[in-house]
Amino acid sequence: MLSMTRKPAIGSRAEPITDAVAGQPPADTSLGKHVRAFDTSAQGSETARGRSRRMARRTRLHGYALVAVALFAFVIALVASNTAHVKVSWLFGSSHVSLVWLVLAAAILGWLLGLVTNAALHRRTRAPRAAPGPRT
């Protein structure tokens, strides 16, 4: 069955073109039946390996979500338990700051330095790029 839609002329509607192939009767052109038939065949063709990969990915995503929730709870507990003010001595002078802000600032600074270090090491240890060929 060959089915396509003509491009409409300006101001007209699209008309479906349906030609019978090998004497077959015209098929139902409703989109719903086509989509359901496509979904059924796609679900039935999944291999055991493909299903295993999909389930492993789903398990990893659930694990990441669980770790994110645990980390968020840890940060909330950290904030609640470290509300005291502490004296921070700098090279020239000192200041008083809440301990929770000090800990969070140190954590964020450490995370950013880790990202920068990782990017620098990745850049220095990557495989050499191939020389570009002559342009024509």
29, amino acid identity: T
Number of domain units in the chain: 2
From first to last of the 136 residues of the chain, give the pLDDT tens digit: 555 555 555 655 555 555 555 555 555 555 555 555 554 445 568 888 989 999 999 999 999 999 999 998 998 888 888 888 999 898 999 999 988 888 888 989 999 999 999 999 988 888 777 777 777 6
Do 91 and 63 share a domain, yes or no?
no
Q: Is 43 contained in some domain?
A: no
Whole-angstrom Cα distance, residue 128 to residue 31? 51
Domain that holds residue 110: 83-126
C-beta separation of 87 from 95 below 8 A: yes
Contact (Cβ atoms closer than 8 angstroms) between residue 103 and residue 78: yes
